Amino acid sequence: MSHRFVHENRPGRVVFAAGARSRLPEEIDRLGLHRLIVVCTPGHAGLAAELAAPLGERIADLHPHATMHVPAAIAAKAVARARETGADGCLAIGGGSAIGLAKAVAKDTGLPIVAVPTTYAGSEMTPIWGLTADGRKTTGRDPRVLPSVVVYDPELTTTLPPALSVTSGMNALAHAAEALYAPDGSPIHTLVAAESARALADALPRVAADPHDTDARSDALYGAWLAGSVLGATTMSLHHKLCHILGGTFDLPHAETHTAVLPHVLAFNLPAAPAARTALETALGTTEPASRLFHLARGLGADMSLTALGMPEDGVETVVSQALAAPYANPRPVTEAAIRHLLGRALSGVAPA
């Protein structure tokens, strides 16, 4: 085999253990931070206060105003608050929404981020930021928004409801699957992505069966960590493009949309990506990875219909035109007919063809 790749290691420290939240003070001291602004969603204010308590005077402010997709006005307020309080770091506690807000703060202020993820979305491992203004989400890459330390504590994920655990896990699986055929993949990213898919597919049924099974939670979060790291290191393709359009245009829920779309994109792409297909077949223990993921998610209760998630039937035209408007990497040329076909199946929630 003739190898040909570019591989770059990203900075960042990861602390992973059940109970790892108790190591936050030590990690923050290690970074030499003294005044942190803590960001989270309103629903996580209690958890944030609990995690912040041992940090005492090192907490400058608790800012529980994160919402989905980082609205620009909310980002601006958090940036202003970080400046007013003289914060020297940002502690993000929660899922992609909380980490997204911390990234908006870091992007404008350069403050280092300490992230404590509580979902499987994976944003904590990427230098990708997103901001939504006037109904449009803009994303970009900036090394300053990559968290300096990520503290993964599976015990913090046991409260994630089973349905959201499954779809959030499928969201992570989508990062792993698309990393396997990314144009800028490397042998290490391939190993990481395949291990991520294996770990997630194995863990999700156990998580759904018992959300308080900490071993299952640990395996799922481990898979999500790996998925986030390949998401940050490679360029995603058609699946992520479609989900970005669907989320932005129809305000569909993030993880649920990824779950409903992924099997259909894989059914389209894998015939043109034989190495990715083989890796996924091995990771998932099947000769039909797309179908396996569809039945895995549906069997665990996920809603596989975009219509049920809120996409209007006449929205297909908008998605088709946006998906064809700007070129992006994909292992198989993306045609109008292909998008119509796979969106049609995802709308009605039938198995991939």
Task: Work out whether 41 is an interface residue with ligand NAD (CB under 6 A).
Answer: yes
Task: Work out whether 95 is an interface residue with ligand NAD (CB under 6 A).
Answer: yes
Q: Which residue has the tokens 């699957």?
A: 177
Residue nearest to ligand NAD (CB): 96
Spatial distance between the Cα atoms of 155 and 118, rounded to a whole number of angstroms:
9
Buried b (16+ CB within 10 A) or exposed e, 198-229: bbbbbbbeebbeebebeebbbbbbbbbbbbbb
**Residues 44, 239, 264, 292: which binds ligand NAD (CB under 6 A)?**
44
Q: How far is CA 210 from CA 67, 133, 153, 165, 256, in A?
A: 28, 39, 17, 11, 20
157 versus 288: smaller Cβ distance to ligand NAD: 157
Q: How many residues bind ligand NAD (CB under 6 A)?
A: 28
Task: Work out whether 43 is an interface residue with ligand NAD (CB under 6 A).
Answer: yes
Task: Work out whether 89 is an interface residue with ligand NAD (CB under 6 A).
Answer: no
Task: Work out whether 263 is an interface residue with ligand NAD (CB under 6 A).
Answer: no
Q: How far is CA 21 from CA 64, 89, 271, in A?
A: 19, 17, 43
Q: Which residues pair with 115 in a beta bridge?
A: 92, 150
User: Of 183, 174, 142, which is closest to residue 244 (Cα–Cα)?
Assistant: 174
Task: Work out whether 174 is an interface residue with ligand NAD (CB under 6 A).
Answer: no
Q: Least distance from C-beta 243 to ligand NAD, angstroms?
A: 9
What order do you get walking across the sheet with 113-117 strand by strand?
13-16, 149-152, 113-117, 89-94, 36-39, 59-63
User: Of 340, 121, 101, 343, which is closest to residue 246 (Cα–Cα)?
Assistant: 343
CB 352 within 8 A of CB 266: yes
**Residues 123, 186, 218, 259: which binds ligand NAD (CB under 6 A)?**
123
Query: What residues contact 79, with CB distance under 8 A and at least 6 apart?
Result: 104, 105, 108, 109
160 versus 230: smaller Cβ distance to ligand NAD: 160
**Residues 48, 114, 131, 156: which binds ligand NAD (CB under 6 A)?**
156
Q: Which residues pair with 138 in a beta bridge?
A: 131
Stretch that binds ligand NAD, among 22-30, 36-44, 51-59, 147-155 (CB under 6 A): 36-44
Task: Work out whether 168 is an interface residue with ligand NAD (CB under 6 A).
Answer: yes
Q: Least distance from C-beta 128 to ligand NAD, angstroms?
A: 4
| Total Cβ atoms within 10 A of residue 54 | 13
Stretch that binds ligand NAD, among 152-160, 203-211, 216-224, 345-353 (CB under 6 A): 152-160
Task: Work out whether 121 is an interface residue with ligand NAD (CB under 6 A).
Answer: yes
Q: Least distance from C-beta 328 to ligand NAD, angstroms?
A: 16
Cα angle 122, 125, 126 (rounded to 5 degrees) comes to: 95
Q: Least distance from C-beta 111 to ligand NAD, angstroms?
A: 17
Task: Work out whether 260 is an interface residue with ligand NAD (CB under 6 A).
Answer: no
| Total Cβ atoms within 10 A of residue 30 | 14
51 versus 98: smaller Cβ distance to ligand NAD: 98
Q: Least distance from C-beta 167 to ligand NAD, angstroms?
A: 8
Task: Work out whether 204 is an interface residue with ligand NAD (CB under 6 A).
Answer: no
Task: Work out whether 64 is an interface residue with ligand NAD (CB under 6 A).
Answer: no
User: Of 173, 320, 189, 180, which is closest to residue 245 (Cα–Cα)?
Assistant: 320
Q: How far is CA 146 from CA 123, 126, 235, 255, 299, in A?
A: 9, 6, 16, 21, 35
Q: Least distance from C-beta 313 to ligand NAD, angstroms?
A: 25
Task: Work out whether 45 is an interface residue with ligand NAD (CB under 6 A).
Answer: no
Q: Which residues bind ligand NAD (CB under 6 A)?
A: 41, 43-44, 68-69, 94-98, 100, 118-119, 121-123, 126, 128, 130, 156-157, 159-160, 164, 168, 231, 254-255
